[in-house]
Structures are given as structure tokens and as C-alpha cells.
Amino acid sequence: MNDKEKTKEQLISEQAKIEAIWITYSESPIPSLMLIRDGRIEEYNQAMFELTGYAHEEVPDIPAWMSKVYPDVEYRNKVIEISRQSRNRRIDIKRDVFNLKRKNGEERFVEFSVFDITLQGKPIGKQIVQGQDITERIQMEQELRKHQDNLEKLVEMRTANLEKANRKLQDKMTERKKSERALRESEEKYSEIFEGVEEGILYYSKKGDVIDVNPALLKITGLLKSDIVGKHISSLAEIFVSIKDIPRILSTIKAALLGESTNAYEVEYSNRIFEIGSHKPQKDASGNIFRPPKSTL
């Protein structure tokens, strides 16, 4: 057998091997095609037709394929350059995702991989291109990212609301502490006056029950604190003043119980003349009573 015959036999053997290889891919459920280095598409399986909607006759080579499945010129040019470098074995395409448009206009995300066909460990200028439709996976990932973004925004919004509410609460607590401190200082100051003045003072509730008396009142009347605290103020009128002053005293008490103040006037007690009057309750900035009605003697 001469060299020409040997070469012919070798080519026949290689072609048989290539055909055997393609038989495997032609029956594969994975979309596949066989690509020659010059850009011709030599083989094209049924799964690739179902993926793209194009028959082999409609896309006999790379230019036809590119113009149909990648109609956007800018995007197509990028894919053409990637394909050129892959055919020249400058880059490997392994599980690279491309946005492919089917014949019916539907866009699909397809993960392509390209493999060189080799015989005796050497590439023969042909490649197998396989594509896997991963549109549903991509859409699920996009939906997941959308939910994650929405969740992050929701968390940020709720965090901002909580921080805002916390600041308001802190402001209220600060204001309350200021009010409590001011009230405490006012009470301490008033207590010093209550305990230290020479003017006799007694406090009573809205019902007229005596709540407290200062030392000056006890000194003036000569009574014990237990003799006065807890008694109704009207029952003390007869003790403190003469009979002729009782109507006016009761009128003063009534005004005080209604939250009104009265002008001071003179009454006689134990052969001595005293000035008596009533003052309405004292309230804080919120309108709460922190000092009940009082009468002075």
C-alpha cells in the first residue's frame, strides 16, 4: 500500500471515528452541534433545534447562527469575538452564559461549553458546542436577589424607624428627667419654705381633709400635728377662730376646695389677731397637681 492509499485509509478511519463520536451527541438530550474551524456548522442535533427553533438548514454556519440568535448588533459582536477566540483555541468556553433569542422571539439564558474533538490526543479542527437552557434558574436567582434587596430595604427601613422611635423615647426620657429634676428642686425649695416660714400653713385634699401642717401653725395654735392632720378643715374652724368669723372661714374653705384663691383677711384667735387666706392648688407644666390647696394663718 502506497502513501496515498495509506492517507486515504487514515482519513476514512478518522471520519468514521468522528461520525461515531457525533452519534453520541446527536441522540443527547443536551442541545449540541459540531463546529468546523472555518465556521461551518457540520452537525446539529434535535435538542439544539428545540432550544433555538432554527433548523440546521437555517443556520449552516457561524455568521447565520450569530445573526439569528443574537439580533442585537453590539451584543452579537461581543459573542462573535468570543467564538473566534474559542475556535482559534485562545480561550476556553466552559459554562459561559449567553442571552440567546429563539426563532419565536423568546429570550433564553443558555450556558454554553465548547470542547475540541481530538484523535490520538491531537485536536482535528472540529469542536462540539453544547448549550444548557438555564433560564428558569437565572429567573429564580433574579427573583431571589429581588426578594433579598426588598428584605434589606425593609430591614433598613425598620431599623431607621426603630432608631427614630428610640431617639424620640430618649428625648422623652431626657425631658421627663428634666421635669422630675425641676419638680424635685421645686418641692425641695417649697419644703424649705414650708418648714421655715413663721406663717402657719396647712394643706388639705379636695375633700377638705388636712394632709399636712407646718411647724409654725403648730406653734401658733399650740396643737399637736396629730390633732390636725386627718381632720376635715371645717371641723377645725371652731378651734381656730371665734364664732363670728366661722361663716367667713367656711366661705374661704369652700373657695379653696373649688380651686380658687381668696384675699387674706383678719380673724381673732386666742385674743390675738391673725391674717388668714387660701390659695389654689399648684400644678406642673403637664397640669398635674404637685401641691394641694392650702390655707395660711
The fold adopted by the segment(s) 192-296 is Beta-Lactamase (3.30.450)
Residue 202 has pLDDT above 80, yes or no: no
Mean per-residue pLDDT of the chain: 81
Dist. CA 103–CA 52, nearest whole Å: 6
Q: Which pLDDT band, with edges at 50, 70 and 90, does 17 fall under? A: confident
Residue 149's alpha-carbon distances to 8, 18, 143, 159, in angstroms, are: 64, 50, 10, 15
Among 32-41, 126-135, 202-211, the least confident range: 202-211
Return the H-helix or E-strand segment holding 153: helix 135-196
Return the H-helix or E-strand segment holding 234: helix 233-240
> Does the pTM of the predicted model rise above 0.75?
no
Highest-confidence segment of 137-141, 182-186, 275-279: 137-141
Dist. CA 63–CA 106, nearest whole Å: 20
Who has greater pLDDT, 60 or 204?
60
Asked if domains 3-140 and 192-296 share a fold, the reply is yes
Q: Which pLDDT band, with edges at 50, 70 and 90, does 73 fall under? A: very high
pLDDT value of residue 214: 87
Residue 63 has pLDDT above 70, yes or no: yes
Dist. CA 148–CA 247, nearest whole Å: 81
Residue 1 has pLDDT above 60, yes or no: no
Q: Exposure pattern of 144-158 as b/e (b: 16+ CB <10 Å)? A: eeeeeeeeeeeeeee
Q: Which pLDDT band, with edges at 50, 70 and 90, does 180 fall under? A: confident
Cβ atoms within 10 Å of 51's Cβ, excluding its own: 20
Query: Domain residues of the chain, as ranges?
Result: 3-140, 192-296
Pick the CATH number of 3-140 from 3.10.50.40, 3.20.20.30, 1.20.272.10, 3.30.450.20: 3.30.450.20
pLDDT value of residue 232: 82
